[in-house]
Chains A and B, each alone.
Chain A
Amino acid sequence: MADSELNVLRGSLDLLILKALSWGPRHGYGVVEWIEHATDATFLIEEGTLYPALHRLERKGWVSTEWGISDNNRRAKFYQLTATGRAQLRTEAPLWHRYAEAIARALRATAPEVA
């Protein structure tokens, strides 16, 4: 996969993770479940992709972590948005909508001519 494609994928995944955490802390499995449900199973995130992404977000200061107890009484690491991460989500999400709509508009074009 080309570096540019990888960067687009990573940026998309980062944004989805920030969104998953916007309602409160989740463990990694909870983040994956939310993304799968919210994207109607379009994105099935594997552990080998998720955890490097979560740790990347932690290094950037967009999420913080704390060990706790899950709903079914197991020890788990929970991720939550920092103030910086929440600001990042607020800034990036509208940009992503704009980019996505611009690309969709171009792909819907039915004529080759430039007006």
Chain B
Amino acid sequence: MTPSEEPRRGGWRRAFRLPPSRAQAERELDDEIAFHLAMREQKLRAGGLTDTGAYRRARERFGDVG
């Protein structure tokens, strides 16, 4: 299979309704968290914090109750 014929990341698994691979699941979770933190930062900047302040405050609330 040539590089141009290789399925997009996750394409075969999605086509056959297979669950994502562990590596893909971890990448997706990283992307989800990154989006969430970016949205929180945006809200904090809109509330008057500096870029640095918003970056730090957005990550302070990341907690784990389990």
Contacts and interface: CB of A to CB of B under 8 A. Distances in A.
Interface string A6-44: 100100000000000000000111001000000000001
A76 interface: yes
A46 B62 CA distance: 6
B65 A74 contact: no
A51 to B, nearest CB: 7
Given A28-B36, A29-B36, A29-B40, A77 B31 contact: yes
Given A29-B40, A51-B29, A74 B35 contact: yes
A48 interface: yes
Interface residues of A, number: 21
B65 A46 contact: yes
Contacts of B61: 44, 46-47
Contacts of A105: none
A48 to B, nearest CB: 3
A75 interface: yes
18 contacts: A6-B65, A9-B65, A27-B32, A28-B32, A28-B36, A29-B40, A46-B61, A46-B65, A47-B62, A48-B62, A49-B63, A49-B64, A51-B33, A70-B39, A74-B35, A77-B28, A77-B32, A77-B35
Interface of B: 28-29, 31-33, 35-40, 42, 61-66
Interface of A: 1, 6, 9, 27-29, 32, 44, 46-49, 51-52, 67, 70, 72, 74-77
